[in-house]
Structure 1
């Protein structure tokens, strides 16, 4: 059976031009949707860039604070070396001695000022 019929003139069958026009309209809609998606992606990227800038600024501030804290720690560490500890011990011993001497003198003063029986 050899069927060589041209189906372009059948009822409700689109012509090649109509099919091309329909395909073009589908492509135009897809292109418009792609442009909307691209616009949203650009807005998201701009937001991410802004967030990155804020994070970089915060990181720089944190690193600066850490550097200052380390410098202060090193200063305190160097002041608490052996000579520093010895001088603190010496001051503590002098304080204890003065406290004992003060208590002794207060005791003597109390004995002198008590009424004599």
Structure 2
């Protein structure tokens, strides 16, 4: 059974020109969407570059402050006598030991002044 029908006349079937035009409009829409995404990506990249510059500047200033602090600490260590420490716990323990020795000395003087106890 050989049916030779031309389907171009059927209602609702697009012509080849209409199919090409539709395909072109789809491609144009896709290209516009791609361009919009590209603009947004470029704006994001520009923002990231600016943030990176700010972070690099902050890092450089923090490193400079750290170098200065380390230099000051090393200068303090070089200028300080050997028995002096700048650590807070060492200062507190040194004060505690000094007060303990002073307390023991005063107790001994008090015992000497009171004399022997019967």
User: Do both proteins adopt the same fold according to a TM-score greater than 0.5, normalized to the shorter chain?
Assistant: yes
Give the RMSD, CA atoms, in angstroms: 1.8
Correspondence list, 1:46-61, <5 A: 46-61=46-61
Cα deviation per residue 1:31-69 (whole Å; 9 max; x = unaligned)? 001101111111111111011000000000000000000
TM-score between the two structures when normalised by the length of structure 1: 0.66
With the length of structure 2 as denominator, give the TM-score of the two structures: 0.66
Runs of 4+ in 1 over 3 A off after TM superposition: 1-4
Paired positions, count: 85
Unaligned runs of 5+ in 2: 86-118
Structure 1 gap segments, 5+ residues each = 86-117
Which protein shows a greater Rg? Answer: 1
Residue equivalent to 1:82: 82
Cα distance in structure 1, aligned partners of 2:21 and 2:74: 78
